[in-house]
Amino acid sequence: MNETTQPALSAMTLRQKIGQMIHCGFHGYEAGEDIARLIRERHIGGVILFARNVRDVRQVAALNANLQRIALEAGLSPLTIAIDQEGGMVARLTEGVALMPGNMAIAAGGEAQAAYDAARVTGDELRALGVNLNYAPVLDVNVNLNNPVIGVRSYGESPELVAGYGVQAVRGLQEAAVSATAKHFPGHGDTDVDSHLDLPTIAHGRERIYGVELVPFRRAIEAGIDAIMSSHIYFPAFEAEKLPVTLSRSVLTGLLREELGFDGVIMTDCMEMKAIADHYGTVAAAVMAVEAGADCVLISHRHDLQEGAIEAIAAAVEAGRISEARIDESVTRLLAMKRKRGVTAESVTTAASEAFRRVGSREHRDIAQRISEAGVTLVKAEADALPLRRERTLVVSVLASAVSEVDESVDLPVTLGQAIAALGVPVEERTVALDRVGDEAEELVRSAAGFAQVVVGTYNASFRPDQSALIRSMLEAGVQPVVVALRNPYDISAFPEVPAYVAAYESRPLALQSAAKVLAGQIEAKGRTPVTISAAYPVGSGRNKP
Protein backbone atom coordinates (compact mmCIF):
# COMPACT_ATOMS: atom_id res chain seq x y z
CA MET A 1 0.00 0.00 0.00
CA ASN A 2 1.33 3.44 -0.88
CA GLU A 3 2.51 5.23 2.24
CA THR A 4 1.22 8.57 1.02
CA THR A 5 -2.26 7.05 0.79
CA GLN A 6 -2.14 5.16 4.08
CA PRO A 7 -2.89 8.03 6.49
CA ALA A 8 -6.00 9.08 4.59
CA LEU A 9 -7.06 5.47 4.21
CA SER A 10 -6.41 4.57 7.85
CA ALA A 11 -8.63 7.43 9.00
CA MET A 12 -11.59 6.15 6.99
CA THR A 13 -14.32 3.88 8.28
CA LEU A 14 -15.36 0.81 6.30
CA ARG A 15 -18.53 2.60 5.12
CA GLN A 16 -16.52 5.62 4.00
CA LYS A 17 -14.17 3.40 2.02
CA ILE A 18 -17.02 1.52 0.36
CA GLY A 19 -18.67 4.82 -0.50
CA GLN A 20 -15.54 5.88 -2.38
CA MET A 21 -16.06 2.90 -4.67
CA ILE A 22 -19.54 3.96 -5.77
CA HIS A 23 -20.18 6.57 -8.48
CA CYS A 24 -23.77 7.73 -8.87
CA GLY A 25 -25.94 9.58 -11.34
CA PHE A 26 -28.81 11.83 -10.33
CA HIS A 27 -31.56 13.94 -11.83
CA GLY A 28 -31.75 17.70 -12.02
CA TYR A 29 -29.70 20.81 -12.64
CA GLU A 30 -28.95 21.25 -8.94
CA ALA A 31 -27.68 19.00 -6.17
CA GLY A 32 -30.97 17.70 -4.81
CA GLU A 33 -31.46 15.96 -1.52
CA ASP A 34 -30.94 12.44 -2.86
CA ILE A 35 -27.47 13.08 -4.21
CA ALA A 36 -26.55 15.31 -1.27
CA ARG A 37 -27.51 12.52 1.14
CA LEU A 38 -25.51 9.98 -0.86
CA ILE A 39 -22.47 12.23 -0.47
CA ARG A 40 -22.97 13.18 3.19
CA GLU A 41 -24.28 9.91 4.58
CA ARG A 42 -23.11 7.26 2.12
CA HIS A 43 -19.73 8.92 1.43
CA ILE A 44 -19.84 8.23 -2.32
CA GLY A 45 -16.61 8.98 -4.14
CA GLY A 46 -17.99 10.35 -7.36
CA VAL A 47 -20.89 11.37 -9.56
CA ILE A 48 -21.60 11.12 -13.27
CA LEU A 49 -23.29 13.89 -15.20
CA PHE A 50 -25.75 13.31 -18.02
CA ALA A 51 -27.64 15.68 -20.32
CA ARG A 52 -30.37 15.74 -17.67
CA ASN A 53 -27.90 17.64 -15.45
CA VAL A 54 -26.89 20.19 -18.10
CA ARG A 55 -28.68 23.44 -18.85
CA ASP A 56 -25.67 25.59 -19.73
CA VAL A 57 -21.98 25.79 -18.91
CA ARG A 58 -22.35 28.26 -16.03
CA GLN A 59 -24.97 26.08 -14.41
CA VAL A 60 -22.73 23.00 -14.80
CA ALA A 61 -19.78 24.80 -13.21
CA ALA A 62 -21.98 25.95 -10.32
CA LEU A 63 -23.45 22.47 -9.88
CA ASN A 64 -20.02 20.86 -9.71
CA ALA A 65 -18.73 23.47 -7.27
CA ASN A 66 -21.72 22.81 -5.03
CA LEU A 67 -21.26 19.06 -5.18
CA GLN A 68 -17.64 19.51 -4.13
CA ARG A 69 -18.66 21.84 -1.33
CA ILE A 70 -21.05 19.21 0.04
CA ALA A 71 -18.29 16.59 -0.03
CA LEU A 72 -15.68 18.80 1.65
CA GLU A 73 -18.09 19.99 4.34
CA ALA A 74 -18.77 16.32 5.07
CA GLY A 75 -15.06 15.77 5.63
CA LEU A 76 -14.63 13.67 2.48
CA SER A 77 -12.08 13.52 -0.28
CA PRO A 78 -13.05 15.75 -3.24
CA LEU A 79 -15.41 14.02 -5.60
CA THR A 80 -14.54 12.44 -8.88
CA ILE A 81 -16.95 14.18 -11.27
CA ALA A 82 -17.34 12.22 -14.48
CA ILE A 83 -19.09 12.60 -17.82
CA ASP A 84 -19.44 10.85 -21.18
CA GLN A 85 -17.91 13.50 -23.44
CA GLU A 86 -16.70 11.32 -26.30
CA GLY A 87 -17.40 13.94 -28.95
CA GLY A 88 -19.67 13.60 -31.96
CA MET A 89 -22.95 11.89 -31.28
CA VAL A 90 -22.15 10.91 -27.67
CA ALA A 91 -21.71 14.08 -25.67
CA ARG A 92 -23.54 15.50 -22.68
CA LEU A 93 -22.22 19.03 -23.13
CA THR A 94 -23.18 20.33 -26.56
CA GLU A 95 -23.89 24.07 -26.20
CA GLY A 96 -21.43 26.69 -25.02
CA VAL A 97 -18.46 24.36 -25.46
CA ALA A 98 -16.22 23.52 -28.40
CA LEU A 99 -17.83 20.17 -29.13
CA MET A 100 -15.31 18.01 -30.92
CA PRO A 101 -16.06 15.52 -33.70
CA GLY A 102 -16.43 11.89 -32.72
CA ASN A 103 -13.73 9.26 -33.08
CA MET A 104 -14.51 7.98 -36.58
CA ALA A 105 -14.75 11.51 -37.97
CA ILE A 106 -11.38 12.30 -36.39
CA ALA A 107 -9.76 9.17 -37.81
CA ALA A 108 -11.19 9.89 -41.26
CA GLY A 109 -9.04 13.01 -41.30
CA GLY A 110 -5.93 10.85 -41.23
CA GLU A 111 -3.96 12.75 -38.57
CA ALA A 112 -3.47 11.18 -35.13
CA GLN A 113 -2.48 14.62 -33.84
CA ALA A 114 -6.13 15.59 -34.27
CA ALA A 115 -7.10 13.04 -31.62
CA TYR A 116 -4.69 14.72 -29.21
CA ASP A 117 -5.90 18.22 -30.08
CA ALA A 118 -9.56 17.26 -29.69
CA ALA A 119 -8.95 15.55 -26.36
CA ARG A 120 -6.77 18.35 -25.03
CA VAL A 121 -9.40 20.99 -25.77
CA THR A 122 -12.13 18.76 -24.37
CA GLY A 123 -10.08 18.15 -21.24
CA ASP A 124 -9.29 21.84 -20.75
CA GLU A 125 -12.97 22.72 -21.01
CA LEU A 126 -14.14 19.87 -18.78
CA ARG A 127 -11.67 20.76 -16.06
CA ALA A 128 -12.70 24.41 -16.22
CA LEU A 129 -16.27 23.27 -15.57
CA GLY A 130 -15.25 21.08 -12.63
CA VAL A 131 -15.22 17.70 -14.39
CA ASN A 132 -12.11 15.62 -13.67
CA LEU A 133 -12.90 12.23 -15.27
CA ASN A 134 -14.03 11.58 -18.83
CA TYR A 135 -15.47 8.21 -19.84
CA ALA A 136 -13.43 8.34 -23.03
CA PRO A 137 -11.80 7.39 -25.32
CA VAL A 138 -13.69 4.49 -26.85
CA LEU A 139 -11.01 1.95 -27.81
CA ASP A 140 -13.31 -0.62 -29.38
CA VAL A 141 -12.21 -1.83 -32.81
CA ASN A 142 -15.32 -1.60 -34.99
CA VAL A 143 -14.92 -4.69 -37.16
CA ASN A 144 -18.64 -5.48 -37.25
CA LEU A 145 -20.68 -3.23 -39.53
CA ASN A 146 -23.84 -4.48 -37.81
CA ASN A 147 -22.71 -3.18 -34.44
CA PRO A 148 -25.69 -1.21 -33.11
CA VAL A 149 -23.97 0.68 -30.29
CA ILE A 150 -20.32 1.41 -31.23
CA GLY A 151 -20.10 2.35 -34.93
CA VAL A 152 -18.80 5.90 -35.31
CA ARG A 153 -17.82 5.99 -31.64
CA SER A 154 -14.83 3.87 -32.74
CA TYR A 155 -11.80 5.22 -34.55
CA GLY A 156 -12.10 2.41 -37.08
CA GLU A 157 -11.51 -1.24 -37.93
CA SER A 158 -7.71 -1.38 -37.62
CA PRO A 159 -6.40 -2.31 -34.14
CA GLU A 160 -3.22 -0.32 -34.73
CA LEU A 161 -5.10 2.75 -35.94
CA VAL A 162 -7.45 2.62 -32.93
CA ALA A 163 -4.45 2.19 -30.64
CA GLY A 164 -2.54 5.08 -32.19
CA TYR A 165 -5.43 7.53 -32.09
CA GLY A 166 -6.55 6.30 -28.69
CA VAL A 167 -3.16 6.90 -27.09
CA GLN A 168 -3.18 10.45 -28.42
CA ALA A 169 -6.62 11.01 -26.89
CA VAL A 170 -5.41 9.64 -23.55
CA ARG A 171 -2.46 12.04 -23.64
CA GLY A 172 -4.66 15.00 -24.49
CA LEU A 173 -7.14 14.42 -21.68
CA GLN A 174 -4.63 13.59 -18.99
CA GLU A 175 -2.31 16.47 -19.84
CA ALA A 176 -5.37 18.64 -19.24
CA ALA A 177 -5.65 17.10 -15.74
CA VAL A 178 -8.69 15.00 -16.64
CA SER A 179 -8.50 11.25 -16.10
CA ALA A 180 -9.12 9.24 -19.27
CA THR A 181 -11.10 6.00 -19.29
CA ALA A 182 -10.52 3.41 -22.01
CA LYS A 183 -13.69 1.53 -22.85
CA HIS A 184 -15.19 -1.04 -23.25
CA PHE A 185 -12.62 -3.62 -22.11
CA PRO A 186 -11.70 -6.00 -23.63
CA GLY A 187 -13.66 -4.76 -26.66
CA HIS A 188 -17.24 -4.07 -27.77
CA GLY A 189 -16.46 -3.64 -31.47
CA ASP A 190 -17.51 -7.05 -32.76
CA THR A 191 -20.99 -7.37 -31.28
CA ASP A 192 -24.36 -7.12 -32.94
CA VAL A 193 -26.16 -6.75 -29.59
CA ASP A 194 -26.28 -3.59 -27.48
CA SER A 195 -25.30 -4.42 -23.88
CA HIS A 196 -27.71 -1.72 -22.74
CA LEU A 197 -30.41 -4.14 -23.90
CA ASP A 198 -29.02 -7.67 -23.45
CA LEU A 199 -25.87 -9.70 -22.74
CA PRO A 200 -23.71 -9.97 -25.88
CA THR A 201 -21.18 -12.75 -26.47
CA ILE A 202 -17.88 -12.48 -28.33
CA ALA A 203 -16.90 -16.06 -29.13
CA HIS A 204 -13.50 -15.50 -30.73
CA GLY A 205 -10.51 -17.45 -29.49
CA ARG A 206 -7.68 -15.92 -27.51
CA GLU A 207 -5.33 -15.47 -30.46
CA ARG A 208 -7.84 -13.35 -32.35
CA ILE A 209 -8.73 -11.28 -29.25
CA TYR A 210 -5.07 -10.60 -28.48
CA GLY A 211 -4.51 -9.60 -32.10
CA VAL A 212 -7.53 -7.32 -32.46
CA GLU A 213 -9.60 -6.33 -29.42
CA LEU A 214 -6.80 -6.07 -26.86
CA VAL A 215 -4.28 -4.15 -28.98
CA PRO A 216 -5.61 -0.63 -28.17
CA PHE A 217 -6.04 -1.41 -24.47
CA ARG A 218 -2.48 -2.70 -24.13
CA ARG A 219 -1.19 0.46 -25.78
CA ALA A 220 -3.31 2.62 -23.48
CA ILE A 221 -1.93 0.81 -20.43
CA GLU A 222 1.61 1.40 -21.69
CA ALA A 223 0.71 5.08 -22.11
CA GLY A 224 -0.34 5.34 -18.46
CA ILE A 225 -4.10 5.61 -18.75
CA ASP A 226 -5.79 6.30 -15.42
CA ALA A 227 -8.88 4.11 -15.79
CA ILE A 228 -10.37 1.30 -17.85
CA MET A 229 -14.09 0.55 -18.07
CA SER A 230 -15.26 -3.04 -18.22
CA SER A 231 -17.81 -4.21 -20.77
CA HIS A 232 -20.94 -6.15 -19.97
CA ILE A 233 -20.00 -8.81 -22.55
CA TYR A 234 -19.33 -12.52 -22.18
CA PHE A 235 -15.94 -13.67 -23.52
CA PRO A 236 -15.85 -17.49 -23.26
CA ALA A 237 -12.17 -17.51 -24.28
CA PHE A 238 -11.34 -16.03 -20.87
CA GLU A 239 -14.27 -17.05 -18.66
CA ALA A 240 -15.49 -20.61 -18.08
CA GLU A 241 -18.80 -19.52 -16.54
CA LYS A 242 -21.26 -17.45 -18.52
CA LEU A 243 -20.33 -14.20 -16.81
CA PRO A 244 -19.94 -10.76 -18.38
CA VAL A 245 -16.50 -9.19 -18.07
CA THR A 246 -17.72 -6.84 -15.33
CA LEU A 247 -18.41 -9.84 -13.08
CA SER A 248 -15.51 -12.03 -14.18
CA ARG A 249 -12.50 -12.37 -11.89
CA SER A 250 -10.75 -14.27 -14.68
CA VAL A 251 -10.95 -11.19 -16.92
CA LEU A 252 -10.69 -8.23 -14.53
CA THR A 253 -8.08 -9.69 -12.20
CA GLY A 254 -6.55 -12.51 -14.23
CA LEU A 255 -6.30 -10.81 -17.61
CA LEU A 256 -6.36 -7.08 -16.95
CA ARG A 257 -4.51 -6.87 -13.64
CA GLU A 258 -2.15 -9.81 -13.64
CA GLU A 259 -1.45 -10.50 -17.30
CA LEU A 260 -1.64 -7.02 -18.80
CA GLY A 261 -0.22 -5.36 -15.69
CA PHE A 262 -2.82 -2.61 -15.32
CA ASP A 263 -2.67 -0.99 -11.89
CA GLY A 264 -5.00 1.91 -12.51
CA VAL A 265 -8.71 2.15 -11.70
CA ILE A 266 -11.10 -0.46 -13.08
CA MET A 267 -14.51 1.11 -13.62
CA THR A 268 -17.68 -0.80 -14.36
CA ASP A 269 -20.04 0.35 -17.04
CA CYS A 270 -23.43 1.29 -15.63
CA MET A 271 -24.79 -1.58 -13.54
CA GLU A 272 -28.37 -0.75 -14.52
CA MET A 273 -27.81 -1.79 -18.14
CA LYS A 274 -29.95 -4.79 -18.99
CA ALA A 275 -26.97 -7.07 -19.63
CA ILE A 276 -26.44 -6.84 -15.85
CA ALA A 277 -29.78 -5.84 -14.36
CA ASP A 278 -31.92 -8.45 -16.14
CA HIS A 279 -29.53 -11.36 -15.61
CA TYR A 280 -28.02 -10.74 -12.19
CA GLY A 281 -29.71 -7.76 -10.55
CA THR A 282 -27.92 -4.46 -10.08
CA VAL A 283 -27.40 -4.76 -6.32
CA ALA A 284 -26.19 -8.36 -6.30
CA ALA A 285 -23.98 -7.68 -9.29
CA ALA A 286 -22.30 -4.76 -7.51
CA VAL A 287 -20.92 -7.23 -4.98
CA MET A 288 -19.88 -9.61 -7.74
CA ALA A 289 -18.06 -6.82 -9.57
CA VAL A 290 -16.01 -5.96 -6.49
CA GLU A 291 -15.20 -9.65 -6.03
CA ALA A 292 -14.10 -9.79 -9.66
CA GLY A 293 -11.69 -6.89 -9.19
CA ALA A 294 -13.60 -3.70 -10.03
CA ASP A 295 -12.53 -0.62 -8.08
CA CYS A 296 -15.48 1.57 -8.93
CA VAL A 297 -19.12 0.58 -9.41
CA LEU A 298 -21.20 2.92 -11.59
CA ILE A 299 -24.95 3.18 -10.94
CA SER A 300 -26.36 5.98 -13.03
CA HIS A 301 -30.03 6.30 -12.26
CA ARG A 302 -32.01 4.78 -9.38
CA HIS A 303 -31.37 6.02 -5.86
CA ASP A 304 -32.66 2.83 -4.25
CA LEU A 305 -30.20 0.73 -6.23
CA GLN A 306 -27.34 3.05 -5.33
CA GLU A 307 -28.08 2.74 -1.62
CA GLY A 308 -28.77 -0.97 -2.00
CA ALA A 309 -25.39 -1.60 -3.61
CA ILE A 310 -23.54 0.19 -0.83
CA GLU A 311 -25.38 -1.84 1.79
CA ALA A 312 -24.80 -5.08 -0.08
CA ILE A 313 -21.04 -4.51 -0.39
CA ALA A 314 -20.82 -3.57 3.29
CA ALA A 315 -22.73 -6.71 4.24
CA ALA A 316 -20.40 -8.81 2.09
CA VAL A 317 -17.36 -7.41 3.91
CA GLU A 318 -18.94 -7.86 7.33
CA ALA A 319 -19.81 -11.46 6.46
CA GLY A 320 -16.25 -12.19 5.33
CA ARG A 321 -17.22 -12.70 1.68
CA ILE A 322 -15.00 -9.74 0.69
CA SER A 323 -11.97 -8.78 2.77
CA GLU A 324 -11.45 -5.25 3.97
CA ALA A 325 -7.96 -5.47 2.46
CA ARG A 326 -9.63 -5.94 -0.94
CA ILE A 327 -11.64 -2.75 -0.34
CA ASP A 328 -8.45 -0.94 0.68
CA GLU A 329 -6.77 -1.87 -2.61
CA SER A 330 -9.52 -0.21 -4.60
CA VAL A 331 -9.75 2.90 -2.44
CA THR A 332 -5.97 3.30 -2.65
CA ARG A 333 -6.20 3.35 -6.45
CA LEU A 334 -9.15 5.75 -6.47
CA LEU A 335 -7.46 8.22 -4.14
CA ALA A 336 -4.21 7.94 -6.10
CA MET A 337 -6.05 8.78 -9.34
CA LYS A 338 -7.42 11.95 -7.77
CA ARG A 339 -4.01 12.99 -6.50
CA LYS A 340 -2.40 12.30 -9.88
CA ARG A 341 -4.77 14.73 -11.61
CA GLY A 342 -4.62 17.34 -8.86
CA VAL A 343 -8.14 16.80 -7.57
CA THR A 344 -7.58 18.41 -4.18
CA ALA A 345 -9.65 20.44 -1.76
CA GLU A 346 -7.81 23.55 -2.93
CA SER A 347 -8.22 22.85 -6.64
CA VAL A 348 -11.98 22.21 -6.47
CA THR A 349 -12.67 25.36 -4.45
CA THR A 350 -10.50 27.76 -6.45
CA ALA A 351 -12.36 29.59 -9.20
CA ALA A 352 -10.47 29.31 -12.50
CA SER A 353 -11.90 32.36 -14.26
CA GLU A 354 -9.31 32.41 -17.02
CA ALA A 355 -9.88 28.72 -17.80
CA PHE A 356 -13.63 29.26 -17.80
CA ARG A 357 -13.32 32.09 -20.32
CA ARG A 358 -11.68 29.67 -22.73
CA VAL A 359 -14.66 27.30 -22.67
CA GLY A 360 -16.23 27.47 -26.11
CA SER A 361 -13.69 30.09 -27.21
CA ARG A 362 -13.05 30.95 -30.83
CA GLU A 363 -9.63 29.32 -30.57
CA HIS A 364 -11.18 26.06 -29.40
CA ARG A 365 -13.99 26.17 -31.95
CA ASP A 366 -11.48 26.76 -34.74
CA ILE A 367 -9.71 23.54 -33.74
CA ALA A 368 -13.03 21.67 -33.84
CA GLN A 369 -13.82 23.12 -37.28
CA ARG A 370 -10.42 22.17 -38.68
CA ILE A 371 -10.79 18.59 -37.48
CA SER A 372 -14.35 18.36 -38.71
CA GLU A 373 -13.61 19.62 -42.21
CA ALA A 374 -10.64 17.27 -42.56
CA GLY A 375 -12.79 14.21 -41.91
CA VAL A 376 -15.66 14.68 -44.39
CA THR A 377 -15.31 11.83 -46.88
CA LEU A 378 -16.43 11.94 -50.49
CA VAL A 379 -16.86 8.21 -51.03
CA LYS A 380 -18.38 8.45 -54.50
CA ALA A 381 -19.00 11.20 -57.02
CA GLU A 382 -19.94 10.63 -60.65
CA ALA A 383 -19.23 13.29 -63.21
CA ASP A 384 -21.29 16.46 -62.73
CA ALA A 385 -23.01 15.13 -59.58
CA LEU A 386 -21.11 17.63 -57.43
CA PRO A 387 -20.59 20.39 -56.56
CA LEU A 388 -24.17 21.51 -56.13
CA ARG A 389 -25.31 24.18 -58.51
CA ARG A 390 -27.12 27.26 -57.32
CA GLU A 391 -30.41 25.87 -58.52
CA ARG A 392 -33.61 24.93 -56.78
CA THR A 393 -32.69 22.03 -54.49
CA LEU A 394 -34.72 19.66 -52.34
CA VAL A 395 -33.01 18.47 -49.18
CA VAL A 396 -34.61 15.52 -47.41
CA SER A 397 -33.19 15.17 -43.91
CA VAL A 398 -33.82 12.10 -41.81
CA LEU A 399 -33.60 13.51 -38.32
CA ALA A 400 -31.05 12.17 -35.87
CA SER A 401 -32.44 9.98 -33.15
CA ALA A 402 -31.11 8.17 -30.10
CA VAL A 403 -30.16 4.77 -31.53
CA SER A 404 -28.91 3.50 -28.16
CA GLU A 405 -29.37 4.50 -24.54
CA VAL A 406 -25.83 5.89 -24.59
CA ASP A 407 -27.07 8.62 -26.95
CA GLU A 408 -29.61 9.75 -24.33
CA SER A 409 -31.52 12.08 -26.65
CA VAL A 410 -30.54 13.97 -29.77
CA ASP A 411 -31.96 17.46 -30.21
CA LEU A 412 -29.98 19.19 -32.92
CA PRO A 413 -30.45 22.91 -33.68
CA VAL A 414 -29.21 22.81 -37.30
CA THR A 415 -30.41 20.70 -40.23
CA LEU A 416 -28.50 19.65 -43.34
CA GLY A 417 -30.77 21.83 -45.48
CA GLN A 418 -30.07 24.88 -43.37
CA ALA A 419 -26.34 24.25 -43.60
CA ILE A 420 -26.52 24.01 -47.40
CA ALA A 421 -28.79 27.05 -47.74
CA ALA A 422 -26.32 29.12 -45.70
CA LEU A 423 -23.85 28.65 -48.56
CA GLY A 424 -26.13 30.26 -51.15
CA VAL A 425 -27.87 27.19 -52.61
CA PRO A 426 -31.66 27.75 -52.85
CA VAL A 427 -33.06 24.99 -50.64
CA GLU A 428 -36.45 23.62 -49.78
CA GLU A 429 -36.17 21.09 -46.98
CA ARG A 430 -38.32 18.22 -45.82
CA THR A 431 -37.35 16.85 -42.43
CA VAL A 432 -38.65 13.44 -41.49
CA ALA A 433 -38.49 11.59 -38.20
CA LEU A 434 -36.57 8.33 -38.18
CA ASP A 435 -39.71 6.28 -37.59
CA ARG A 436 -41.77 8.15 -40.22
CA VAL A 437 -39.67 7.59 -43.34
CA GLY A 438 -41.79 4.72 -44.65
CA ASP A 439 -45.01 6.64 -44.11
CA GLU A 440 -43.78 9.71 -45.96
CA ALA A 441 -41.71 8.04 -48.67
CA GLU A 442 -44.28 8.22 -51.47
CA GLU A 443 -44.82 11.95 -51.02
CA LEU A 444 -41.07 12.58 -50.75
CA VAL A 445 -40.41 10.77 -54.04
CA ARG A 446 -43.19 12.69 -55.75
CA SER A 447 -41.83 16.01 -54.46
CA ALA A 448 -38.28 15.17 -55.52
CA ALA A 449 -39.28 14.86 -59.17
CA GLY A 450 -39.86 18.60 -59.38
CA PHE A 451 -36.38 19.72 -58.32
CA ALA A 452 -33.19 20.27 -60.26
CA GLN A 453 -31.12 18.75 -57.44
CA VAL A 454 -31.95 16.43 -54.56
CA VAL A 455 -29.87 15.79 -51.46
CA VAL A 456 -30.88 13.15 -48.92
CA GLY A 457 -29.35 12.95 -45.47
CA THR A 458 -29.65 9.38 -44.20
CA TYR A 459 -29.26 8.25 -40.61
CA ASN A 460 -28.06 4.67 -40.19
CA ALA A 461 -29.87 3.59 -43.33
CA SER A 462 -27.92 0.31 -43.27
CA PHE A 463 -30.07 -0.58 -40.24
CA ARG A 464 -33.28 0.98 -41.60
CA PRO A 465 -34.83 -0.65 -44.70
CA ASP A 466 -37.34 2.18 -45.05
CA GLN A 467 -34.56 4.69 -45.75
CA SER A 468 -32.95 2.37 -48.28
CA ALA A 469 -36.33 1.87 -49.95
CA LEU A 470 -36.78 5.66 -50.15
CA ILE A 471 -33.47 6.12 -51.99
CA ARG A 472 -34.17 3.22 -54.38
CA SER A 473 -37.65 4.59 -55.12
CA MET A 474 -36.13 7.93 -56.04
CA LEU A 475 -33.66 6.22 -58.38
CA GLU A 476 -36.46 4.24 -60.00
CA ALA A 477 -38.40 7.48 -60.51
CA GLY A 478 -35.46 9.00 -62.36
CA VAL A 479 -34.30 11.17 -59.45
CA GLN A 480 -30.54 11.15 -58.88
CA PRO A 481 -30.09 11.96 -55.18
CA VAL A 482 -26.82 12.97 -53.62
CA VAL A 483 -26.72 11.08 -50.32
CA VAL A 484 -25.01 12.25 -47.12
CA ALA A 485 -24.63 9.63 -44.39
CA LEU A 486 -25.24 11.45 -41.13
CA ARG A 487 -24.00 8.72 -38.82
CA ASN A 488 -22.62 5.29 -39.77
CA PRO A 489 -20.84 5.41 -43.15
CA TYR A 490 -22.15 2.04 -44.34
CA ASP A 491 -25.41 3.33 -45.86
CA ILE A 492 -24.30 3.26 -49.52
CA SER A 493 -24.19 -0.55 -49.42
CA ALA A 494 -27.99 -0.50 -49.66
CA PHE A 495 -28.11 1.84 -52.69
CA PRO A 496 -24.76 1.70 -54.52
CA GLU A 497 -26.25 3.28 -57.68
CA VAL A 498 -26.51 6.80 -56.21
CA PRO A 499 -24.41 9.29 -58.17
CA ALA A 500 -22.68 10.80 -55.13
CA TYR A 501 -22.21 9.78 -51.53
CA VAL A 502 -20.63 11.69 -48.65
CA ALA A 503 -19.87 10.29 -45.20
CA ALA A 504 -20.21 12.95 -42.50
CA TYR A 505 -20.09 10.45 -39.60
CA GLU A 506 -22.41 12.49 -37.40
CA SER A 507 -25.30 14.95 -37.33
CA ARG A 508 -23.89 17.61 -35.05
CA PRO A 509 -24.14 21.16 -36.46
CA LEU A 510 -20.42 21.39 -37.20
CA ALA A 511 -20.47 18.13 -39.18
CA LEU A 512 -23.46 19.33 -41.20
CA GLN A 513 -21.71 22.59 -41.99
CA SER A 514 -18.53 20.79 -43.02
CA ALA A 515 -20.46 18.37 -45.24
CA ALA A 516 -22.36 21.26 -46.80
CA LYS A 517 -19.06 22.96 -47.72
CA VAL A 518 -17.95 19.80 -49.53
CA LEU A 519 -21.30 19.53 -51.33
CA ALA A 520 -21.10 23.16 -52.44
CA GLY A 521 -17.47 22.83 -53.53
CA GLN A 522 -16.21 25.34 -50.96
CA ILE A 523 -13.69 22.94 -49.42
CA GLU A 524 -11.89 19.89 -50.72
CA ALA A 525 -13.00 16.51 -49.38
CA LYS A 526 -9.90 15.07 -47.74
CA GLY A 527 -11.34 12.30 -45.59
CA ARG A 528 -10.80 8.57 -46.01
CA THR A 529 -13.04 5.90 -44.53
CA PRO A 530 -11.44 4.25 -41.46
CA VAL A 531 -13.66 1.22 -42.05
CA THR A 532 -14.60 -1.03 -44.95
CA ILE A 533 -18.03 -0.11 -46.24
CA SER A 534 -18.24 -2.91 -48.82
CA ALA A 535 -16.08 -4.74 -51.33
CA ALA A 536 -16.48 -1.75 -53.63
CA TYR A 537 -15.46 0.68 -50.90
CA PRO A 538 -12.67 -0.79 -48.77
CA VAL A 539 -11.00 0.94 -45.83
CA GLY A 540 -9.31 4.11 -47.05
CA SER A 541 -11.99 4.97 -49.62
CA GLY A 542 -12.45 8.61 -50.50
CA ARG A 543 -11.99 11.09 -53.31
CA ASN A 544 -10.25 14.44 -53.12
CA LYS A 545 -12.60 16.37 -55.39
CA PRO A 546 -16.23 16.15 -56.46
Residue 420, pLDDT > 90, answer yes
pLDDT in tens, 88-103: 999 999 999 999 999 9
Mean pLDDT score, 179-198: 81
Mean pLDDT score, 416-422: 97
Q: Which residues pair with residue 25 across a beta bridge? A: 48
Angstrom CA distances, 404 to 148, 202, 537, stand at: 8, 19, 27
> pLDDT higher for 351 or 38?
38
Give the pLDDT band (50/70/90) at residue 1.
very low
Residue 354, pLDDT > 80, answer no
Residue 254 burial by Cβ neighbours in a 10 Å radius (0-12, 13-18, 19+):
middle
What's the pLDDT at 200?
84
Residue 371, pLDDT > 60, answer yes
Residue 7, pLDDT > 60, answer no
Give the pLDDT band (50/70/90) at residue 411.
low
pLDDT over 90 percentage in the chain: 86
| Spatial distance between the Cα atoms of 47 and 44, rounded to a whole number of angstroms | 8
pLDDT in tens, 34-91: 999 999 999 999 999 999 999 999 999 999 999 999 999 999 999 999 999 999 999 9
The DSSP secondary structure of 325-361, one letter per residue, reads HHHHHHHHHHHHHHHHTT--HHHHHS--HHHHHTTT-
Residue 10, pLDDT > 90, answer no
Residue 184, pLDDT > 60, answer yes
Q: Which residues are catalytic?
A: 196, 269
Strands of the 427-432 sheet, one edge to the other: 377-381, 500-503, 482-485, 453-458, 393-398, 427-432
* Positive/negative CA dihedral, 153, 157, 163, 164: negative
pLDDT in tens, 107-136: 999 999 999 999 999 999 999 999 999 999
Cβ contact 189:140 at 8 Å: yes
Give the pLDDT band (50/70/90) at residue 4.
very low
Mean pLDDT score, 508-527: 97
- What pairing do the DSSP bridges indicate for beta strands 393-398 and 453-458? parallel
Mean pLDDT score, 385-394: 96
Mean pLDDT score, 491-504: 96
292 sits in which H/E element: helix 282-292
What's the pLDDT at 546?
65
In 3-state terms, what secondary structure has residue 2?
Answer: coil
Domains contained in the chain, CATH given: 17-351 (3.20.20.300), 376-519 (3.40.50.1700)
Give the pLDDT band (50/70/90) at residue 413.
confident
| Spatial distance between the Cα atoms of 372 and 386, rounded to a whole number of angstroms | 20
Mean pLDDT score, 366-374: 98
Q: What is the mean pLDDT of the chain?
A: 93
pLDDT in tens, 212-253: 999 999 999 999 999 999 999 999 999 999 899 999 999 999
Residue 6, pLDDT > 60, answer no
The DSSP secondary structure of 369-411, one letter per residue, reads HHHHHHH-EEEEE-TTT-SPPSS-EEEEEEPP---SGGG----
| Spatial distance between the Cα atoms of 511 and 104, rounded to a whole number of angstroms | 12
What's the pLDDT at 3?
38
Q: Which residues pair with residue 217 across a beta bridge? A: none
What's the pLDDT at 58?
95
Mean pLDDT score, 408-433: 90
Residue 417, pLDDT > 60, answer yes
pLDDT in tens, 155-168: 999 999 999 999 99
Mean pLDDT score, 454-474: 95
185 sits in which H/E element: strand 179-185
pTM of the full structure: 0.95
Using the CB atoms, write b or e for 502-533: b if 16+ within 10 Å: bbbbbbbbbbbbbbbbbbbeeeebbbbbbbbb
What's the pLDDT at 353?
73
Cβ contact 72:498 at 8 Å: no
Residue 476, pLDDT > 60, answer yes
Angstrom CA distances, 426 to 389, 444, 520, 524, stand at: 9, 18, 12, 21
Cβ contact 190:204 at 8 Å: yes
What's the pLDDT at 405?
63
Residue 139, pLDDT > 70, answer yes
Q: Which residues pair with residue 133 across a beta bridge? A: 82, 179
Give the pLDDT band (50/70/90) at residue 189.
confident
